[in-house]
Amino acid sequence: MKNPSSIKKILITAGPTREFIDPVRFISNPSTGAIGYAIAGIAAKKGKEVILLSGPTYLKPPPNVKIFYFESALDLEKLAGKYFKWADCFISSAAVSDFRPRLKEKEKIKKKNGINSLLLVENPDILKSLAAKKKDKILVGFALETENLLKNALLKLREKNLDLIVANKLSSAHSPFGTARVNAYIIDRRGCKKYDAVNKVKLARIILDRVEQICYSFKHV
């Protein structure tokens, strides 16, 4: 396992995907990319080489970060596959759609013509497929749940062979999308810690610190 000083190249995904139904309509989610952009900016300030893969967002790219844009999950799959080998650490914070329309209409669907149903197909599990090529890389994932938060996050941690997962719960009382502060659990294979009402810049620092702690603990086992 790598030691903290050997984590020099960090690949980060951020923001939503858009899965187009026709040229003007798409399936997406409310992700703003804020946490991924914050992690990228702080990592760059720490002197890391950073590649940020960003979905559609209005955020300004952080200084000293190389950025590439994607729109769909299939776009992201290609970009992540291209740069994964380069990275020492992969932080997957993008909110990737699990499904996409089976067909994208070439022309705008007219309202008067209507639509009876929308056939969906499953998108590839990008993080899981990359984890199969993990070797000595550090992998960080995110989990957003509406129920059984810790149970589902732990399952994802194990199934996708992650070193760390950041878990958030979406409810009528709290949404982690586009808010200044979030409630989050940071979980690794040794346990978890809850952070209440933490802003995303601070959370980004905590995540990067935990990555270095994981590296250090493996080095001294």
Is 29 among the residues known to form the active site? yes
| Global confidence as pTM | 0.92
> What is the spatial distance between Cα 217 and Cα 37, in angstroms, rounded to a whole number?
27
173 within some domain: yes
Taking residues 6-16, report their average pLDDT.
94
106 within some domain: no
191 within some domain: yes
What confidence score (pLDDT) does residue 190 get? Answer: 84
17 within some domain: yes
Taking residues 176-190, report their average pLDDT.
83
pLDDT band per the 50, 70, 90 thresholds, residue 117: confident
Give the CATH number for residue 45. Answer: 3.40.50.10300
What confidence score (pLDDT) does residue 217 get? Answer: 60
What confidence score (pLDDT) does residue 171 get? Answer: 65
54 within some domain: yes
In SS3 terms, 95-151 reads as ECCCEEECCCCCCCCCHHHCCCCCCEEECCCHHHHHHCCCCCCEEEEEEEECCCHHH
108 within some domain: no
Task: Say if residue 180's pLDDT is above 90.
Answer: no
Task: Say if residue 218's pLDDT is above 70.
Answer: no
189 within some domain: yes
Selecting among 3, 29, 161, 199, the annotated active-site residue is 29
Beta-carbon contacts of 46 under 8 Å, excluding residues fewer than 6 positions away, are: 208
112 within some domain: no
The total number of structural domains in the chain stands at 1
The better pLDDT of the pair 40, 115 is held by 40
Percent of the chain topping pLDDT 90: 77
- The pLDDT tens digits of the residues spanning 152-177 come to 999 999 999 999 999 998 865 666 77
- The pLDDT tens digits of the residues spanning 47-68 come to 999 999 999 999 999 999 999 9
Domain of residue 176: give its range: 4-101+119-219
